Chain A
Amino acid sequence: MVSSTDPPVAMAVARASSTAVAAGARPPQAPPLRRPRGLRRKLELTLLLGPALALFVGFVLAPIGIAIYYSLYNWSGFGPLSDFVGVHNYKLALSDPVFRSAIAHNLTLAALSVIIQLPISIGLAMLLNRRTRGRSLLRLIVFAPYVLSEATTAVIWSLMLQPGGFVDQFLKAAGLGGLVHLWLADPNIVLYTLFIVITWKYVGFGIILLLAGLQGIPAELHEAAALDGASWWQTTRRIVLPLLGPTIRIWAFLAIIGSLQLFDVVWIMTGGGPANASVTMATYLINRGFQSYEFGYASAIAVILFIICFVFSLAYQRFALRRDTRGALTRAVG
């Protein structure tokens, strides 16, 4: 279900691979060919593009089409599709307060990711980019949570966050007993608790991306700035951040898409509760689809989720990523 929203990413990959294929076919071939060039080229393209294209059509495009078809029916998942209801499922979904709050939760998490995770990631990446003792170890520690599966993360944090659990004991021991809350049981804070867990899990990934970006900044620029008497802040503001731009934009893209599709951690830790206080579009989709057997309705939710992600991806690529990919993707394709 969630994978049906992957097409933007898959499409980008497909595009990238198609350009790679086109480039790969070009290198000059020294010996003269017996077969006509055209046929060989076709054969190469067929072999290289074929499997990816078939997978893409079979597992991305076709499911989207089928989901759209199902979404027009009132269907329990059993028997023939006979109860055609048109766009009724969509109307129902968009007027359902639970689904609306799910969209709001996803958007909140996406916004929080950019506002809070980004500065943390940049700060830690710059810190870890310095030559310090045990730098690799620190990097490893920061990156470790990302390696854990989401299910493992969710189970560990559920145990730590239960009333009187590790987090509460830790806060009390640190003299911060007043901060103890019902982390997962209080509808007012559960979404933020989940955000902390997600941040813990994904900040390592952002740091690794940004570290790679930082290493791509030529040392000469730092030296030149230092010779000109630029302060640390000036260097950061005028050289590091602008040159990190492409990395930041890619990270933000992944973070926002990830927030929109968020499922595993929420499903395991709260199931979307209490009282739908942490419901996301994806958990709502699974609840109404595979738990309530309202497959027509759930398909409509899936299509809406897909449209939101798709429109966002297109807009983001068009407006935010365009300058990063100019000449590489935009021109070749568009």
Chain B
Amino acid sequence: MRSIRTSAALAVAATAALTVAACGSSSSGAGSGGASNSGSSVTLTWWNNATTNPLKGVWQQVAASYHTAHPHVTLQIDPIQNEQFTTKIPLALQSSNPPDLYQQWGGGQEATQVKSGKVMNITKLVAPWIGQLGSAAEGWQVNGQQYGIPYDLHMVGFWYRKDLFAKAGITSPPTTLAELNSDVTKLKAAHIVPIAVGSKDRWPDAFWWEYFALRECSTDTLKAAMKAINVSNPCFLKAGNDLKAFMATHPFQSGFLGTASQQGAGSSAGMVANGKAAMELQGDWEPGVMAPLSTDKTLNSKLGWFPFPAVTGGAGAPTTLLGGGDGFSCTTGATDACAEFLKYIDSPSVQKKLVGAGVGLPANPSAAPALTDDTLRQILSYSHASPYIQNYFDIAFPTNVGQAVDNAVANFFAGQGSPETIIQTVNQAASTS
């Protein structure tokens, strides 16, 4: 018995020594890049979500051309599948060598990450040029300080099929909730599913409640709610009641609770792409999601876009948009070269490349002319006319509160809870964040 114990101790000691040795060598190897000065050569590790073309190719080009112009800066691209960021970022920011540059959606999620102390405050470094982006950059601020920058913007609105609208006798897209309701009735009469929604993913449900809140709440109320992380203002309850009334008309496909939003022909995107549903409340990225789900080569010409309709009596401007964007943050281990590179990403030349690749709407308005798709131009002009663009609530709020919004609204879609429970759940999550 005793001998076993001693050898066990020996074994642990031996392997522990080996493990420590192995870990030690790897961390010192990786750390050599970020710590050097801007004068000597620098390697920036760059985590982005471009695992497929065209964006993957664009970032490779951008990295190569930046290296050509600044030979001392090398970018090491590490494409990571989009959903993996939620698990990888917390771990990376707790570790001693996070990536120098990583995907950032801004808002409260960014604020949560800033708590780690590993996200670089780039306010001063980007000050000379950040004005070019206009108010879009505000979404990547925490307490007025810039901790990230956007490289593209996204807007949520209705994608609809012109052919199905025509079939149901609808001549123009609805501009008010009453018109939307009557269009739903017309489409149903023509045996067409009026609206597809991917409730399985929860966040598409949340878009609905959020948009009703955008119509019921004034811009000031929305801003205050985001800042205070509190949705107690009665307008949010009105939004829930609006949603309740709207859902009572049964506008969605049968079995929408089990429908995914983007995967397969049976997803909400697939339904619209294949003419199985007439509308979907989704982001400007949707045509790109739909294209591979359908064999219809002329799909793009059949799709139209209109903003979320006005709600009578609501305090919110009918032109307010729900949106967001993609961006990047630098970490504290990275040098000023990282912020310099962000400037390059938002420069008109790179922005035009991104727009040309159909990635999204440009963060830098000067690249707008490069947008060729008519519908996207329409969305962009609409966003320029919008008095306020509200970030998706699940990004704008701290992560746990944002998820509480998604969960509560999804439960409401499934018939669980009431407009009041949405408010309670969200406020309760806020009290623990």
Which residues of chain A have a CB within 8 Å of any CB of chain B? Answer: 38, 41-43, 45-47, 49-51, 53-54, 57-58, 74, 76-79, 155, 158-159, 161-165, 182-187, 190, 270-271, 273-277, 287, 290-295
Contacts and interface: CB of A to CB of B under 8 A. Distances in A.
Contacts of A295: 90
B428 to A, nearest CB: 11
B7 A42 contact: yes
B270 to A, nearest CB: 10
A273 B200 CA distance: 7
B77 to A, nearest CB: 24
B117 interface: yes
A38 B4 CA distance: 10
Contacts of B8: 45, 49, 53
B264 A159 contact: yes
Nearest to A276: B411
Interface in B196-254: 199-202, 253-254
Q: Which 6 A-B pairs have the closest CB atoms?
A: A50-B11, A275-B414, A54-B15, A184-B258, A185-B258, A274-B257
A194 B414 CA distance: 18
Nearest to A98: B407
A285 to B, nearest CB: 13
Contacts of A51: 11, 15
Interface stretch (B47-55, B292-300, B317-325, B397-405): B397-405
A25 to B, nearest CB: 10
Nearest to B276: A164
Contact of B7 (A45, A74, A161): A45
Contacts of A155: 263
Nearest to B260: A158
Contacts of A277: 414
A77 B432 CA distance: 14
A41 B114 CA distance: 54
A216 to B, nearest CB: 33
B261 to A, nearest CB: 11
A273 B433 contact: no
Nearest to B6: A42
Given A182-B255, A271-B200, A291-B86, A74 B11 contact: no
Contacts of B415: 187, 275
Interface size bucket, B side? 35 or more
A74 B400 CA distance: 12
Nearest to B412: A275
Contacts of A294: 400, 432
28 contacts: A41-B3, A45-B3, A45-B7, A45-B8, A45-B11, A46-B11, A46-B14, A49-B11, A51-B11, A53-B12, A76-B399, A159-B266, A162-B255, A184-B258, A185-B199, A185-B255, A185-B256, A186-B255, A270-B258, A271-B200, A275-B413, A276-B416, A290-B87, A291-B399, A292-B399, A292-B403, A292-B429, A293-B90
B258 A49 contact: no
A3 to B, nearest CB: 14
Given A183-B258, A185-B255, A290-B87, 20 more contacts: A43-B7, A45-B4, A45-B11, A46-B10, A50-B12, A51-B11, A54-B19, A76-B398, A79-B116, A162-B255, A162-B266, A163-B266, A185-B256, A185-B257, A186-B257, A187-B416, A274-B410, A275-B257, A275-B410, A290-B86
Contacts of A271: 200-202
A298 to B, nearest CB: 10
B35 interface: no
Interface string B89-132: 01001100000000000000000111111000000000000000
A273 B14 contact: no
B115 A78 contact: yes
B259 interface: yes
A186 B254 CA distance: 10
Contacts of A162: 255, 258-259, 264, 266
B333 to A, nearest CB: 16
A320 to B, nearest CB: 29
Contacts of B115: 76, 78-79
Contacts of A274: 199-200, 257-258, 410, 413-414
B414 A78 contact: no
A308 B298 CA distance: 56
Contacts of A158: 260, 264
B178 interface: no
B16 interface: yes
Interface in B135-194: none
Contacts of B200: 184, 270-271, 273-274
